[in-house]
Amino acid sequence: MLRKKPLLRTLIACGLLTPFLAQAQINDTARQQTVLATYEWNHWKQARNYNWNQGSLEYKTQGRGGALLGRFNYGQRFANQGWQAEVEAYPRLSKKVYAYTGIGYSASAPVFPKWRSGASLFVNLPRAWEVEGGVRYLHFDRDIWMGTAGVGKYVGNWFLQGRSFLSLNNSQGIDQSYFLTARYYLPSGTDYVWGQLGTGVSPDENQAAQLQVPNLQRQNIAAGIRTTVGGRHLLLGTLGYARNEYRKGAYGSQLTVLVGYGVKF
CATH number (domain holding residue 139): 2.40.160.40
Name the residue range of residue 255's domain.
Answer: 2-264
- What pLDDT digit, counting tens, does each position of 199-231 carry? 998 898 877 777 777 778 899 999 999 999 998
Distance CA 196, CA 110 (A): 27
Tally of domains in the chain: 1
* 4: pLDDT strictly greater than 50: no
Q: What is the mean pLDDT of residues 99-119?
A: 95
Give the pLDDT score at 17: 33
Q: How many percent of the chain have pLDDT more than 90?
A: 65
Ranking 11-15, 22-26, 127-131 by mean pLDDT, the lowest is 22-26
Q: What is the pLDDT of residues 142-179, one digit of tens each?
A: 899 999 999 999 999 999 999 999 998 877 677 899 99
pTM of the model: 0.84
